[in-house]
Structures are given as structure tokens and as C-alpha cells.
């Protein structure tokens, strides 16, 4: 225990040495110092003036937005702007040092990879966070002096903490970017992967704050903390001497990537092995490896149904529509749509294949979140319809048994498996297996996804489409008796 404590103290000391050097270096660079000073002192004063004028204007016109919403919103803006600098600082600190060839002497010192990573990360956050908090203090003081408004301690904590989390996420994302490139130029190009989500986040925060839904900020912070955990873990895995020195050039070898993907897709071919044994090992095996993400998707889909069912009580469909489904001539409706035909089956099949393909792309760009939402949507709608029909005496069990289950026995497992594979693929780069690069880890999971999608999900969707075209209408007519 004593040794561990001493080790920890030594690490803390080394981290502090790295932070001190980095921060001194930042404060000697006028290109960094100038925006920091402007964003800390000048910009908050400008926002104070803006707040005072906007409140006066809104109050004079009797607008819907009152000062209690605008002032905290501007406080958030003041807090965020210096934080944006942390991205630049982190890219400079990590990839800049690599580019200026000053990293290797550092790597030759007794510093551990983690000490260097933590020191550089904290140094990149420190100046923007201090600047952000000072900016908020300047703004709040100005507004208080002019209007007498003071934020509640809760609001102050929310906005202050939000700025800290934003800085931490930006820096962690910058570390991940830096580990993949060797020049600041390339890092700046990749930084759009950080800037775009942050632009969307700020837009979302703006809506919430102007809407007055300040409690939702805590949920946003929880989301940011989750993202931060993933990025931090990835940063620790990537910021290693091996990774940093093993990559001398930013090289994109598409042919090699394709060969790697093809090998991973085919997997192992054992001599004399039949296709079925290969399928069992490489396709069903991949599905089994995806069990945990599949379980997560299962929970999400069940939540979708429940949410849809619950919302049916609050939002009612026009009664004639519901009544038509509940009591109308469903057989002739099916005839009108022409669904019970090969063309109908093909349309359903292609629609589902496209939907899952789209969910995969959306999932890749959003750590699986958009994929989950897209997959939840049809079952959410089914739950919603079930809730609507319940008021006409058609139970949920009857609805699902007739409208969903006949083809759902194939389609729902297909959605679960596909969702699991998408989720796995979307987060695979967070923790590459030992000895694998981020790119290889991602290609391996894409190969797994492609194998599962093409050889398990698509066949299930084909069967589901045939059932939806030919069996489901028959069951619905039989159950509803029309």
C-alpha cells in the first residue's frame, strides 16, 4: 500500500511537471493568449451588454422569451467559447509535438505513457477551463451590476460543469485524432468530426435553454460523461509509445484495407470443411460474439414498444382511422394495397434491407445511438397503434399476435441481430484488441457486421417479407374475422 501511494505521488509529480511546461508554453504563444484574453474579458463584457439590450427589447415587446431564459443562455455561450480553444490546444500539444519532433526525447524519459497522456490532456483543458470560468464570472458580475440578476447556485453549477465536460470531451477526442495522424494539418481536417457534433450539441442546448428545460441539461451532461469515458479509455489505449512511433506517415492503403477486410470476412477456411460448418463457425459464431450488444438492442426495442404504447394514451389518432383498423374491412384493404403478391413481398424486403442499411450508416456516425432510434421506431409505432386499438377492445396481445408476430418471428430477430452488429461496429474502435490498430479493430467489426448482415439478417428479412406478404394478412383477417 505504501509503495502504491509513493508510486501514485511520483506519477502526480511527473504529471504536474508536464502540465507546468505545457501551460507555460501556451501562455508564451500570443496566438493562444490573444483569443483567450478576448474570450475571457472582452467577449463576456459584450455579452453583458447584449443581455441587457435583449432583455430590454424582449420586455418592451412583450415577447415570449423573458430575461430568465436569455441570460442563462448567454452565460452558456460565454462559457463555451473559450472551451473551443481546448481543441486547438490539444491538437497542438499532441500532434504538434509529434510534428515538431519534440516528442521522442519525452518518450525516452521515465514518464509512463499514461502520465504523459494525463499531463498533456489536463494541460490542454486547464487554460480553457480557467478562461471559461473567468468569462462566466465576468459575465455574471456584469449582468448583476446592470440588472441585478444572479443565477441560482444550481444553474451556475450546471453551466460551469457543462463547460468542464465539453473541454474534457474535446480534448479526449483530439487525442484520438492525434493518434491517427502525424501532422497538424491532417489533425485539423479530422477535427471536423469533433466540431460538427459539438455544433449540433450547442444547437440542442440553445433550444433547451430558450425553452426553459434546464433540468434536461443534467441528462446532456450524463451523455457527455458517457462519451468522455469512452474517449478517455480509447485515448489511454492509443497514446502509447508503440502507437505513436509505429506510425510514421499518414498513409491510406485502400488495397491493403480491402485485403484485410476480405480476409476477416471470409474468416478461417479449414481444409475439407463443408459450407455449413464454416457458416456455423463464422456466421453463427459472430452472432454469438454479439450477444451482449444484441441484449442491449433487445432492451431498447422493448422500451420502444412500451414508450409507443404509453404515448398512445396521450396522443390520440383521429377516431375514424383507428375505427377503420379496428372494425373496417381489413381484407379489402389488403387487396387494395396489393401486398399479398411477389411484388409486395419484394417491396417489403427491399424496404427492410434499406432501413437496416441506413441504420448501420447512421449508427456508425453516432456510436450506434441513431441506429437504435431507427430500429426502435417501427416497434414504437406498433406499440402506439396497439395502445390506440386497446380503447376499441382489441388487446395488445391480439394486435401483436395478428399484425406483428406472423412475420415478426423472423423480422424481430433480424432487427435484434442487425442492431447488435451495428452497435458492436459503432463502438469497436473504442477499445481495439491488443496488437490491433483502431482501423483494424473497426475493419474486423465491419467484417463481422457484413457477414451477419448478408448471411444471417438478409435471409431472415427475405423470409419475414414473404410471411408479411402472404401469412400476416391471412392471420389478421382470421383473427379480426373480416
Partner 1 sequence: MIVAHQLTKQFDTFTAVREISLEVSAGSVLALLGPNGAGKTTTIRMLTSILRPTSGWARIADLDVVTQAEEVRRRVGVLTEHHGLYARMRSEEYLTFFGELYGLSGDVIRRRSGELLEQFGLADARDKRLGEYSKGMRQKLALIRVMLHDPDVLVLDEPTSAMDPVSVRAVRDAIAALRNERRTILLCTHNLHEAEQLADQIAIIRRGAIIERGSPAELKRKLLGPTIYELRLAEPLNGLAAGLAERLDLIGQGADWVRYRTDQPAVVNPATIAWLAEQRAPVLALSEVERSLEDVYLQVVEATDAH
Binding footprint of partner 1 on the chain (CB under 8 A): 14, 17, 21, 25, 28-29, 100-112, 241-242, 245-246
**Residue 190 Cβ vs partner 1, minimum distance, rounded to whole Å:** 22
CB 210 within 8 A of CB 73: yes
Nearer to partner 1, 96 or 368 (CB): 96
**Residue 242 Cβ vs partner 1, minimum distance, rounded to whole Å:** 6
Nearer to partner 1, 47 or 122 (CB): 122
> How far from the centroid of its chain's Cα atoms is residue 263's Cα?
29
Nearer to partner 1, 102 or 146 (CB): 102
**Residue 24 Cβ vs partner 1, minimum distance, rounded to whole Å:** 8
**Residue 100 Cβ vs partner 1, minimum distance, rounded to whole Å:** 8
CB 356 within 8 A of CB 415: yes
**Residue 124 Cβ vs partner 1, minimum distance, rounded to whole Å:** 16
Nearer to partner 1, 96 or 135 (CB): 96
At 310, phi and psi to the nearest 5? -65, -40
In order, the DSSP letters of 8-38 are HHHHHHHHHHHHHHHHHHHHH-HHHHHHHHI
Grid cell in block for residue 369:
445511438
Select from 148, 173, 171, 162 the least CA-distant residue to 26.
171
Select from 121, 127, 117, 163 the least CA-distant residue to 35.
127
At 415, phi and psi to the nearest 5? -65, -40
**Residue 103 Cβ vs partner 1, minimum distance, rounded to whole Å:** 7
- How many angstroms separate the Cα of 479 from the Cα of each of 86, 264, 345, 398? 62, 47, 22, 8
Nearer to partner 1, 121 or 322 (CB): 121
CB 442 within 8 A of CB 428: yes
> What is the Cα–Cα distance from 428 to 447, expressed in whole angstroms?
12
**Residue 251 Cβ vs partner 1, minimum distance, rounded to whole Å:** 11
CB 309 within 8 A of CB 394: no
Nearer to partner 1, 240 or 289 (CB): 240
Q: Is 17 helix (H, G, I), strand (E, B) or coil?
A: helix
Nearer to partner 1, 24 or 323 (CB): 24
Amino acid at each position: 500500500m505504501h509503495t502504491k501511494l509513493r508510486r501514485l505521488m511520483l506519477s502526480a509529480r511527473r504529471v504536474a511537471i508536464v502540465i507546468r511546461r505545457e501551460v507555460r508554453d501556451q501562455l508564451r504563444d500570443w496566438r493562444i493568449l490573444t483569443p483567450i484574453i478576448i474570450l475571457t474579458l472582452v467577449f463576456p463584457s459584450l455579452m453583458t451588454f447584449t443581455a441587457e439590450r435583449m432583455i430590454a427589447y424582449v420586455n418592451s415587446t412583450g415577447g415570449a422569451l423573458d430575461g430568465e431564459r436569455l441570460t442563462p443562455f448567454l452565460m452558456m455561450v460565454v462559457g463555451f467559447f473559450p472551451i473551443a480553444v481546448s481543441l486547438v490546444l490539444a491538437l497542438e500539444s499532441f500532434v504538434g509535438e509529434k510534428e515538431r519532433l519534440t516528442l521522442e526525447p519525452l518518450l525516452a524519459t521515465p514518464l509512463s505513457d499514461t502520465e504523459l497522456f494525463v499531463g498533456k490532456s489536463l494541460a490542454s483543458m486547464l487554460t480553457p477551463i480557467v478562461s471559461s470560468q473567468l468569462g462566466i464570472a465576468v459575465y455574471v458580475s456584469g449582468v448583476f451590476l446592470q440588472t441585478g440578476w444572479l443565477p441560482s447556485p444550481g444553474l451556475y453549477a450546471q453551466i460551469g460543469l457543462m463547460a468542464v465536460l465539453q473541454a474534457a470531451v474535446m480534448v479526449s477526442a483530439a487525442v484520438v485524432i492525434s493518434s491517427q495522424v502525424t501532422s497538424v494539418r491532417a489533425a485539423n481536417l479530422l477535427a471536423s468530426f469533433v466540431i460538427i457534433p459539438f455544433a449540433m450539441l450547442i444547437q440542442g442546448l440553445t433550444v433547451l435553454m430558450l425553452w426553459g428545460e434546464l433540468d434536461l441539461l443534467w441528462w446532456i451532461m450524463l451523455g457527455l460523461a458517457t462519451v468522455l469515458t469512452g474517449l478517455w479509455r480509447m485515448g489511454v489505449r492509443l497514446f502509447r509509445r508503440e502507437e505513436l512511433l509505429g506510425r510514421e506517415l499518414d498513409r491510406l492503403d485502400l488495397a491493403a484495407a480491402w485485403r484485410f477486410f476480405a480476409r476477416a470476412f471470409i474468416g478461417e477456411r479449414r481444409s475439407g470443411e463443408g459450407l455449413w460448418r464454416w457458416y456455423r463457425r463464422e456466421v453463427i459464431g459472430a452472432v454469438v460474439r454479439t450477444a451482449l450488444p444484441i441484449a442491449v438492442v433487445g432492451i431498447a426495442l422493448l422500451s420502444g414498444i412500451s414508450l409507443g404504447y404509453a404515448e398512445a394514451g396521450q396522443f390520440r389518432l383521429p377516431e375514424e382511422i383507428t375505427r377503420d383498423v379496428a372494425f373496417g374491412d381489413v381484407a379489402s384493404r389488403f387487396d387494395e394495397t396489393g401486398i399479398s403478391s411477389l411484388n409486395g413481398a419484394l417491396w417489403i424486403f427491399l424496404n427492410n434491407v434499406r432501413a437496416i442499411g441506413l441504420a448501420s450508416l447512421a449508427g456508425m456516425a453516432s456510436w450506434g445511438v441513431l441506429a437504435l432510434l431507427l430500429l426502435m421506431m417501427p416497434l414504437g409505432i406498433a406499440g402506439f397503434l396497439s395502445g390506440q386499438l386497446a380503447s376499441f377492445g382489441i388487446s395488445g396481445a391480439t394486435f401483436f399476435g395478428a399484425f406483428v408476430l406472423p412475420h415478426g418471428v423472423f423480422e424481430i430477430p433480424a432487427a435484434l441481430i442487425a442492431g447488435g452488429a451495428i452497435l458492436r461496429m459503432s463502438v469497436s474502435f473504442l477499445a481495439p484488441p491488443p496488437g490491433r490498430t483502431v482501423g483494424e479493430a473497426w475493419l474486423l467489426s465491419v467484417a463481422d457486421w457484413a457477414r451477419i448482415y448478408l448471411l444471417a439478417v438478409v435471409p431472415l428479412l427475405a423470409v419475414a417479407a414473404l410471411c408479411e406478404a402472404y401469412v400476416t394478412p391471412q392471420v389478421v383477417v382470421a383473427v379480426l374475422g373480416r
